[in-house]
Structure 1
Amino acid sequence: MQKASNGTRAGSRPEDPTGRKAGRTVSRQVLADHVYEELLASLMDGRLEPGAAVSIDGTARELDVSPTPVREALARLEHTGMVRRVALKGYRVAPVFTREDFADLMEARLAIEPVNARLACARLNPHRLAELEQTVTDLKSAPRGPSFAEYKDYLEADEQFHQLIAQQTDNQFLVGAYAALGGQVQRFRLFGGVGITDAENAIAEHQSVLDALSSGDPEKAEAAMAAHIQKVRERAMADAPEE
């Protein structure tokens, strides 16, 4: 297809610097969120393989947006560890966690999240408890099909549960430490293969943590979270392919 003299595709609407096509009212943030979700789905479903290049211009054409929201989405994905920016080469899909990488991540989670649960339990208020109860309800009802579109809500409820506990510590440094770990959550999910394979066990463990928090016993909450993280580590190690 020939290009018009202004650099846009013939017959297409010109684009503005925010990433919108002329005549559209979609906000820049909405576009960036859409591109992020599309790229994340491709990564989580294995359609973009480790080491593969992610073209900004190619992705923009495929999703019918300008390069701006694609750059913003890739910057967010870089924070999660799912993609890496390589000098003079652009973005590439990050390699899957090695067993050593995964062991390091879980060691950090064991150092931080049980403490989060203990402090959160001591400072828990009825409003936050209701929020935690809702995330467990959402976790139980979320679909868990083989594609990311089908299990995305499950992952979001899972992440929200752990994030709420971190926030309830009321400690900015623990919140920041968890955020640094939480940024790797999607990449961690690929360590044991594509999809959700441990839902029933994970749901039961989240319920145990919630029950411990509800009991008002900080030590019980700490132990329940530690048991959950340890079991997640064991299941993921068992499911991961040999290196």
Structure 2
Amino acid sequence: MPSIFKQAPDIQPRLAEDVYDQILSAIIDGQFAPGERLIQEKIATQINISRTPVREALLRLEQEGILELSGRKGFVIRQLSDNEVTELYGVREAIEGYAAFIVAGHRNPEKLAAIQAAVEAEYELSDRNLESEFRCNRHIHRTIVEQADNPVLLDFFDSIWGRSVSLWLFAATRTNPSQTDPDVHRQLLKVLQTGSPEEARTAMAGHVRDGLSQHHKNP
């Protein structure tokens, strides 16, 4: 197949990180067909690097639940069952709801401004599609968790949303063009700015549950 990766220079710091980003972007862009194997030798040849950083990147994606082993040296994109989706959303409710509780309790102007900037960026998307909306949505939610200043929450968030890439890919093959309403995040921001911590937790939990309901509406 034609190369879908950029060649890497001979010397580059954080090479495995760059390879990881390229592979993840290719997955999100839909460059791999369902069930298509990702072979480290082929990817290494396309990027013009050794197999070691490619292997590291593929193993990281496997650890995050995005890929799974297929054969001795290949990986495929992992598909989530409906039960796994429900479990992941339940954990998201707990993590992101608690983060919203903390943020609303502190009501720090700088932290709220960071969240507002992430929310407003959603309105400035020039090319609104599944990929751009997924990235923007993830950025908004991660910013909220980040502003809670709890590294453990952020680690859990990153782990869950890594697995959510698989969910997004699965959903992207089954739904019509995205109908995300940016006003939903503005409403959530308003609760973080003016509501009580418990109101913020409830609003975030409800927002996450709405996402699960949307998934179930698109079987």
- TM normalised by structure 1 equals 0.75
Paired residue secondary structure (1:239): coil
Among 37, 42, 49, the residue aligned to 1:65 = 49
> Which residue in 2 is equivalent to 1:94?
77
Paired residue secondary structure (1:62): helix
- The number of residue pairs the alignment matches comes to 210
> Which residue in 1 is equivalent to 2:59?
75
Provide, for residues 197-226 of structure 1, a one-character-per-residue CA deviation record: whole Å limited to 9, x for no partner: 44533x222111111111142122112212
Q: Which moved more, 1:220-229 or 1:77-86?
A: 77-86
Identical columns (%): 26
Among 113, 138, 159, the residue aligned to 2:121 = 138
> Which residue in 1 is equivalent to 2:3?
none
Q: Name the CA distance, whole Å, in 2 between partners of 1:199 and 1:133.
A: 21
Cα distance, 1:50 vs structure 2: 4.2
Provide, for residues 147-178 of structure 1, a one-character-per-residue CA deviation record: whole Å limited to 9, x for no partner: x4xx2xx4333222222222333334333332
**Do residues 180 (structure 1) and 159 (structure 2) align?**
yes
Cα distance, 1:28 vs structure 2: 3.2
**CA RMSD, aligned part only?**
2.5
Give matches, 1:84-233, under 5 Å: 84-85=68-69, 89-142=72-125, 143-145=127-129, 148=131, 151=132, 154-194=133-173, 197-201=177-181, 203-233=182-212
Q: Name the CA distance, whole Å, in 2 between partners of 1:116 and 1:42.
A: 31
Larger radius of gyration: 1
Structure 2 unaligned segments of length 5 or more: list them.
1-7
Structure 1 unaligned segments of length 5 or more: list them.
1-18
- Alpha-carbon contact 2:134-2:168 (below 8 Å) kept: no
Runs in 1 of length 4+ with deviation above 6 angstroms? Answer: none
- Alpha-carbon contact 2:68-2:78 (below 8 Å) kept: no
- Alpha-carbon contact 1:48-1:93 (below 8 Å) kept: no
